[in-house]
């Protein structure tokens, strides 16, 4: 027969070891209970993890520790402490206030009649209820083991849910610039949760988005990672791996297979293109089932396919942007303006849009569409476009038609960039006070894209030489634009420009005439 737990033999808490620990909160107002509980469980081991004990001697202290140790797996909770129902109030606090549904609550009481078992379990979401007099060392071992298994499964399900949520969220916007990062992170989290682990993962590839120079050297570059690899994005894989890991990685790369080690693996990700990619996961179980190995194999193929699909979409968007630039440059070259004018305006628009508070997607859209602002000039005669002096009345009326001409060329497109370009082409000469053209729109009647491009276009035009003027100094341009605050330009946008002058001037340096 097992000896009863509660003796006077003290025991130091078990120290945390490298494999990690399961955290157990002991809540009891009797120090002896803490001592004998630690003694009875001193050699406890589950999935290569020992127990780490945290002690509280009152209900009030327990509530603080619950907040500080939200990752605790189990709480051994006394009912009667400073009050007859202190433990029950702690249980209520855990579930209702701390919103912690993961931790397993084992209620222990020396006075069972004080809190009827059935009512307590139903009313307070208790996972187990034990009388101190019945808790032998073996029974305590059993209840801790079963509780840890439940906790492990709950955490695994929660991680799986979080991973799936990330995947779904990323899938809604899979073609945005950074969605591959959140997609890969989410899928890795999904896989590790399915394997019953939650340690580290990393994905590296030779295909680096929007960086052709690095694509050529065929080095594996970290694209996404968790744990120790979270800060390794953009680094060469050989610089972040240990010697032993690098050897295993090279083997997987050479054999184009999955290499399993004691507690980690490298999976080669197959591809229909000439790109090498590698998946690393650590903390894997020592004995993987055939199902788990098959899951890893499928995942290593699918994650590469998803990544390359996004790369292809990125290439399509880059091609579309290049065509927009080249069309706009062709129009600009008919006049005295240089091709870099549209690039400068595009980047200035992006700075203004972000400073104005537009979303990332909107800021990107105005950057991509703004080069189309003067596309209507393709229908303006060269004699008017390149006239060095001031235009007369009739010539000016012809020049103003470029807004409607540009709108006519771009309207009715189902493409977001072209559709935004149509609005910009028509409205970038409207003025905040209603004195602009072609329709005399006023204030917020003017689309925000039109208001932004108007300011960016004027700023760049004033700062550079034209057939009818020399470049203006920075101070003269700033003074001129601020003098038209509330008349030509939206006041808020002028304030954004004033705040972002350094960034805007860097754009002018990057794209000189």
Half-sphere exposure for 159 (CA within 13 Å, toward CB)? 20
Tracing tokens 């860097």 back to the chain, one arrives at 506
Rounded to whole angstroms, the Cα distance separating 419 from 415 reads 6
Sheet holding 264-269, edge to edge: 221-225, 200-205, 277-282, 264-269, 258-260
- Which residue's entry shows tokens 């004018």? 341
Q: Which residue has the tokens 């630690």?
A: 38
Task: State the DSSP string of 132-163.
Answer: GGG-BHHHHHHHHHHHHHHHHHHHHHHHHHHH
Q: Where are the beta strands (DSSP E) in 340-380?
A: none
Q: Are 222 and 234 in contact (CB under 8 A)?
A: yes
Helix axes 402-410, 416-427, angle to 10 degrees: 170
Q: What is the helix, strand, coil percentage profile of the chain, to 5?
A: 55, 10, 35
169 is a catalytic site residue:
no
Strands 74-78 and 21-27: parallel
Full strand arrangement of the beta sheet holding 128-131: 50-56, 21-27, 74-78, 104-109, 128-131
Report which of 442, 402, 443 is spatially closest to residue 424, judged by C-alpha positions.
402
Q: Which residue in this structure is represented by tokens 């006394």?
A: 78
- Spatial neighbors of 107 by CB under 8 A, at least 6 apart, are 77, 79, 87, 91, 115, 120, 124, 126, 128, 129, 130
Asked if 191 and 267 touch (Cβ cutoff 8 Å), the reply is no
DSSP state of 96: I
d(C-alpha 249, C-alpha 220), whole Å: 10
Q: Residues 49, 377, 405, 500: which is the catalytic one?
A: 377
Q: Which two tokens stand for residue 105?
A: 């609550």
Phi-psi region of 47 (alpha: psi -120 to 50; beta: other; left: phi over 0): left
Strand partners, 77: 27, 107
Return d(Cα 23, Cα 71) in angstroms, integer: 7
Q: What positions carry a catalytic annotation?
A: 377
């Amino acid at each position: 027969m097992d000896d009863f737990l509660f003796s006077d033999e003290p025991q130091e808490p078990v120290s945390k070891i490298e494999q990690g620990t399961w955290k157990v909160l002991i809540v009891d107002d009797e120090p002896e209970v803490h001592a004998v509980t630690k003694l009875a469980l001193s050699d406890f081991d589950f999935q290569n993890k020992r127990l780490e004990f945290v002690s509280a001697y009152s209900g009030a202290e327990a509530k603080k520790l619950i907040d500080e140790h939200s990752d605790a797996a189990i709480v051994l909770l006394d009912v009667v402490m400073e009050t007859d129902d202190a433990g029950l109030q702690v249980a209520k606090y855990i579930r209702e206030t701390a919103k912690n549904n993961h931790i397993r609550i084992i209620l222990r009481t020396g006075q069972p009649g004080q809190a009827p078992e059935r009512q307590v379990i139903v009313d307070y979401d208790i996972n187990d209820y034990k009388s101190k007099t019945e808790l032998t060392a073996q029974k305590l071992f059993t209840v801790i083991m079963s509780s840890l298994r439940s906790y492990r499964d709950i955490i695994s399900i929660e991680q799986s849910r979080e991973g799936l949520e990330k995947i779904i969220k990323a899938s809604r916007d899979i073609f945005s610039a950074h969605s591959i990062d959140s997609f890969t992170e989410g899928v890795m989290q999904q896989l590790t949760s399915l394997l019953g682990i939650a340690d580290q993962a990393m994905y590296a590839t030779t295909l680096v988005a929007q960086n052709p120079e690095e694509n050529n050297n065929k080095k594996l570059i970290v694209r996404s990672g968790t744990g120790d690899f979270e800060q390794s994005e953009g680094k060469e894989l050989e610089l972040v791996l240990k010697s032993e890991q690098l050897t295993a990685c090279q083997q997987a790369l050479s054999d184009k297979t999955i290499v399993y080690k004691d507690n980690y693996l490298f999976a080669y990700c197959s591809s229909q293109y000439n790109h090498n990619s590698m998946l690393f996961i650590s903390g894997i179980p020592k004995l993987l089932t055939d199902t788990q190995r098959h899951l890893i194999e499928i995942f290593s193929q699918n994650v590469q396919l998803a990544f390359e699909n996004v790369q292809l979409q990125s290439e399509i968007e880059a091609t579309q942007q290049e065509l927009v630039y080249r069309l706009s440059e062709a129009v600009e070259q008919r006049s005295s303006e240089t091709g870099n004018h549209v690039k400068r305006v595009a980047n200035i628009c992006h700075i203004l849009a972000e400073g104005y508070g537009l979303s990332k997607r909107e800021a990107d859209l105005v950057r991509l569409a703004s080069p189309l602002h003067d596309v209507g000039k393709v229908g303006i005669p060269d004699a008017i476009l390149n006239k060095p002096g001031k235009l007369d009345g009739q010539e000016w009326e012809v020049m103003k038609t470029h807004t409607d001409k540009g709108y006519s060329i771009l309207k009715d497109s189902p493409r977001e960039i072209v559709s935004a370009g149509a609005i910009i082409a028509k409205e970038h000469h409207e003025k905040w006070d209603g004195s602009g053209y072609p329709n005399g729109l006023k204030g917020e009647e003017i689309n925000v894209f039109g208001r932004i491009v108007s300011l960016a276009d004027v700023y760049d035009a004033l700062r550079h030489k034209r057939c009818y003027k020399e470049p203006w100094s920075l101070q003269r341009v700033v003074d001129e634009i601020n003098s038209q605050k509330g008349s030509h330009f939206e006041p808020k946008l002028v304030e954004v420009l004033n705040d972002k002058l350094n960034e805007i001037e860097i754009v002018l340096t990057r794209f000189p005439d």
